[in-house]
Chains A and B, each alone.
Chain A
Amino acid sequence: MRRVRLARWRWLGAGFVIGLAVTLGVFALVRWSATDEASEVPTLVVAENACGQGWTDRESGAQTLMLRNTGGVAADAQLIDVATGKVLIDVEGIGSGATVPVQVSLGGGRYALRCVFDEWGAVTGPTVRITGPAGPAGVAPVTRADLIAAVRAYQASVVAGMVPLVADIASLQTAVRSGDRVAARRSWLPAMLDYQRLGAAYGAFGDLDVAIDGTPDGLPGGVNDSRFTGFRRLEYGLWHDQPMTVLVPVADALSASVTRLRDQAPEMPVDGLDLTRRVHEILEDTERFELTGGSDQGSGSSLAIARAQVRATQMALEPLVPLVVTRYPALPGVDPALRRLAADLDATDHDGAWTPVQALDHARRQQINADTGRAVELLAPIAAICEPRRTS
């Protein structure tokens, strides 16, 4: 990793010189090819019988390649480093007859185009030699098979997380039924945090997530809409002094939904792609709904929920680390960034009484915003790096 990064940066240091070299190189190319029938911009064929034809040895640097699907079916095109098998560009779904310009930076080395077809698998074209200094290394492809172990590990952690959730939901339900508002409020947050630690971002649990953790957004009746259910509905009632008797069916329904979720969890399909995206999507939700206070229904628990979502992020990331560690040079910065965010959130926890986000002093709120921003920027590339790619 270290070696790769140094190589990249040395290249940047020489960037200006390279820029000039490229300038001159392109000049030369154009002058040279002026007598040639070939276009200045190479057109690479994407087709089963002629994959990667149409380009020849060339100079390194930033350049445009045209990818033209001359075949009869759509295909993905990957430019691969022949020596390492790493992918430099991956353009999906180029339709029959379509031409796609791609701007790419190529360092010295040997490259080939891989054409991938849904029905026929992959075909790799001829190798082209690029002369010049080293360039971007590309990414070793991650296949769907590579993600299976990560998905299984993640599913196991979700299943394990159901145990405290079900227990704390039972306590919450009991408290609501007892009519003791103080006890019900006290029981609400632990159950909510159990759920948030599962990382149910972006409909991970489908309709059940809406039933369990939906907000009044998008409901014509708002907080009074009959479709407003679950934790948030209960929060609204508990903190807006609605009669406890009104809240009993809400708590019962929540409990039933959670039980269903618990029962479905072991068989719940998790797409590998979803898992890789969840790594930053959980905190994208935090930015949007918790750091703004936008989803709070009266309890002022946004920062406690944000803290649980940091844990959920770590849980989604953990099983992917073996895949990412060799592919993502900035990975060593991720854990410190998440810990920093966690620590700044923990500082707003006063023995279980969390400072409401709107009551934070300005400097502390900006610090948490900054921590979250740093973390999501660092996490976002993981989805791109781990995006499943077909290699055969």
Chain B
Amino acid sequence: MTDEEAGRVSRRGLLTGAGIAAGVATGFAVSELGAPTHTARPRPDRIAFHGPVQAGVTTAAQRNAAVVAFDVTAADRTELTDLMRILTARARTLCAGSDPVVRDIAGPPVDSGVLGPNPPPDRLTVTVGVGASLFDGRYGLAALRPRGLVPMRTFPNDRLDPARCHGDLSVQICAQSPDTVAYALRELARRTRGGMQIRWRSDGFISPPRPAGTPRNLMGFKDGTANPDITDGALMDRVVWADRNAGLPGQPWTAGGTFQVVRRIRMLVEFWDRVSVGEQENMLGRRRDTGAPLDGGTEHDIPNYALDPVGTSIPLTSHIRRANPRTPATDASLLLRRPYNYDAGVDGAGNLDMGLLFISYQRDLAAQFEAVQTRLINEPLVDYIEPNGGGYFFVLPGVADARSYWGQHMLDQPPSDPTSAAMAHNGRY
């Protein structure tokens, strides 16, 4: 870490360095357990921060999440670079956990105290993406916009609230406990207030299995049964990651990135609860109790559409059949979903605002998410859901090591000429 970077990170940053964290963690282990422990060893609740790709994408989903979109207020490329360095340094420390809360009289407390004196990692991940708007003229980045990154489209059944859409940056914060998520957000925001401001935020949770298998969404159905296997590296390379070596075509700096779709999809649960279970199941294509496809018996039975060409058991318009017809032609639209439920109060008509914080990862927005979403246009389910926010983002490549930071390879590129940048901007949209 350079002096200038560190100087920007925090006046008291020396108290939050990862190395110091390890030292104090040990001190605490000694004092609390009465026996020496070695905190340098991997902990099951610590997810590696460094790597060729970011954590929080093919990481087994933690129980709680916040997706926070930010407007970047940095004045220029230099301030943007500072912002990314600070964000990275702080996230690195938070994800390491056991960050000591060392008393320092030269300022307010060094952290919020929400996680106590010795914060655990709690499987925290912080995943940072960039939106198309970051590639306007402000930072000389227009020529670098990841190929295919556009502002989120408005689909025919959407009812988007502009205040809940888009953003220059997305920060997905996931952890096992909600207080860890809140803590991480506060610590990140506290050190970056001058460089970015929250545009919108959506929190989510994953329910425990009821009673087993894939967790249920707030429509009462198991959600995510057919998701591709995150432990299958070759599959993830095919579905999720921009080529790990070459990146997107002609953009080697994007290697190891991925496209993120966030959609805040309200479920009109009062209406849904007034619909018969048979109608619900026909709309989804699965049994509510077991999660089995309507032509099967258990959750993980594979629907056999070839034997059901006219949709006698699984209607042709059902959600699972439209989303994934399981044909060779539609195989290319397979994507990785990483959704959360959200539960956020009540609207002016007294109805609950709850639903799905849909998050998906894919290497091509148009060929994957938009292809699937296009097949879902006017599916019967649209009467019961209302997408009202979200955005498209490009998740930056991973942070290689303690000296690297998010977006480093992008920001290392020479600034592009604003005029040609503006043209590129207009031409793409």
Given contacts A26-B36, A363-B71, A374-B193, contact A330 B11 (CB under 8 A): yes
B11 surroundings in chain A (CB, below 8 A): 329-330, 381
Interface size class of B (residues with CB under 8 A): 35 or more
What's the nearest-Cβ distance from chain A to residue B107, in Å? 3
| Cα separation A366 to B167 with both chains bound (whole Å) | 12
Chain B residues with CB under 8 Å of A18's CB are 19-20, 23
Is the beta-carbon distance between A104 and B71 smaller than 8 angstroms? no
A88 with B105: CB separation less than 8 A = yes
Between A and B, 16 residue pairs with Cβ closer than 8 Å are A8-B14, A12-B13, A12-B14, A18-B20, A19-B17, A20-B40, A22-B23, A26-B26, A30-B35, A61-B23, A104-B103, A369-B197, A370-B194, A380-B107, A381-B107, A384-B105
Cβ of A63 within 8 Å of any chain B Cβ, yes or no, is yes
List chain B residues, Cβ under 8 A from A139: 105-106
Contacts of A337 in B (CB 8 A): 194
Task: Report A-chain residues with C-beta under 8 Å of the C-beta of B199.
Answer: 366
Sorted nearest first, the 4 A-B pairs with minimum C-beta distance are A373-B193, A374-B194, A22-B23, A15-B19
Known: A9-B7, A12-B6. A87 touches B105 (CB 8 A): yes
The CB with the most chain B CB atoms within 10 A, among A15, A20, A89, A369, is that of A15
Question: Which of B31, B39, B107, B191 meets A385, CB within 8 Å?
Answer: B107
What residues of B have a CB within 8 angstroms of the CB of A363 in the complex? 71
Interface centre among B23, B40, B104, B106 (most CB of A within 10 A): B23
Give the chain B neighbours of A367 by CB distance below 8 A.
73
Is B36 a contact partner of A30 (Cβ separation < 8 A)? yes
Interface check A136, CB cutoff 8 A: yes
> A321 interface residue, CB < 8 Å from B?
no
Establish whether residues B197 and A370, one from each chain, have CB atoms under 8 Å apart when the complex forms. yes
Indicate if A62 sits at the interface (CB-CB under 8 A).
yes
Do B18 and A15 touch (CB < 8 A)?
yes
Known: A22-B23, A139-B105, A370-B193. A40 touches B17 (CB 8 A): no
Taking a contact as CB atoms under 8 Å apart, the answer to whether A16 and B197 are in contact is: no
A381 touches B18 (CB 8 A): no
Considering the complex, which residues of chain A in the window 1-42 have a beta carbon less than 8 Å from any beta carbon of chain B? 5-6, 8-23, 26-27, 29-31, 40-41
Q: Considering the chains assembled together, what is the distance between the CA atoms of A380 and B194 in angstroms?
A: 14
> Counting CB contacts under 8 A, is B186 at the interface?
no
B30 vs chain A, min Cβ distance (A): 5
In whole Å, how far is A332's beta carbon from the nearest beta carbon of chain B? 11
A224 is an interface residue with CB less than 8 A from chain B: no
Which residues from chain B sit less than 8 Å from chain A, CB to CB? 1, 3, 6-7, 11, 13-15, 17-24, 26-28, 30-31, 34-36, 38-40, 71, 73, 100-108, 117, 190-191, 193-197, 199, 402
Q: How far is the CB of A25 from chain B (nearest CB, A)?
A: 8
CB nearest neighbor in A for B21: A19
**Bound complex: CA of A40 vs CA of B35, how far in Å?**
10
A16/B24 in contact, CB under 8 A: no
In the complex the two chains form, is B27's CB within 8 Å of A26's CB?
A: yes
Distance A373 CA – B198 CA, assembled complex (angstroms): 12
Chain A contacts for B107, CB-based, 8 A: 380-381, 384-385
Closest beta carbon of chain A to B73's beta carbon, Å:
4
Residue positions of A touching B, CB distance < 8 A: 5-6, 8-23, 26-27, 29-31, 40-41, 61-64, 87-90, 101-105, 136, 138-139, 327-330, 337, 362-363, 366-367, 369-371, 373-374, 376-377, 380-381, 384-385, 387
Q: Which residue of A lies closest to B190 (CB)?
A: A377
A370 to B108, CA, bound (A): 20
Residues of A within 8 A of B108 (CB): 380-381, 384
- Taking a contact as CB atoms under 8 Å apart, the answer to whether B28 and A64 are in contact is yes
Q: Check B105–A89 contact: CB distance below 8 A.
A: yes
Instruction: Indicate the member of A12, A138, A376 with the most B CB atoms within 10 Å.
Output: A12
Q: A41-B31, A381-B108 in contact; A373/B194 too (CB < 8 A)? A: yes
Cβ of A19 and Cβ of B106 under 8 Å apart? no
Contact A19 B19 (CB under 8 A): yes
Other than the known A17-B19, A18-B23, A380-B107, what 14 A-B pairs have Cβ atoms closer than 8 Å?
Answer: A15-B14, A16-B22, A19-B19, A19-B23, A27-B36, A30-B30, A40-B34, A61-B23, A61-B27, A62-B27, A102-B103, A103-B102, A136-B15, A384-B108
In the complex, residue of chain A having the shortest beta-carbon distance to the beta carbon of B17: A15
Nearest CB in chain A: distance from B265 CB, A: 24
Bound-state Cα–Cα, A16 to B401, Å: 12
CA distance A12 to B1 in the complex (A): 8
Q: Do B40 and A370 touch across chains, with their CB atoms under 8 A apart?
A: no
* B40 closest partner in A (C-beta): A23
In the docked arrangement, what's the CA distance between A101 and B32, Å? 12
A370 touches B31 (CB 8 A): no
B403 to chain A, nearest CB (A): 10
Which B residues are CB-close (under 8 A) to A15? 14, 17-20
B190 to chain A, nearest CB (A): 7
For A23, give its contact among B26, B31, B101 (CB under 8 Å).
B26
Closest residue of chain B to A369 (Cβ to Cβ) is B197
Q: Are A23 and B38 in contact (CB under 8 A)?
A: yes
- A387 to B20 CA separation, bound complex (whole angstroms): 27
Are the C-beta atoms of B24 and A12 separated by less than 8 Å? no
Closest A residue to B101 by CB, please name it.
Answer: A103
Question: Which single member of A8, A62, A376 contacts B24 (CB below 8 Å)?
Answer: A62
The chain B residue sitting closest to A22, CB to CB, is B23
Flag if B71 contacts A366 (CB, 8 Å). Answer: yes
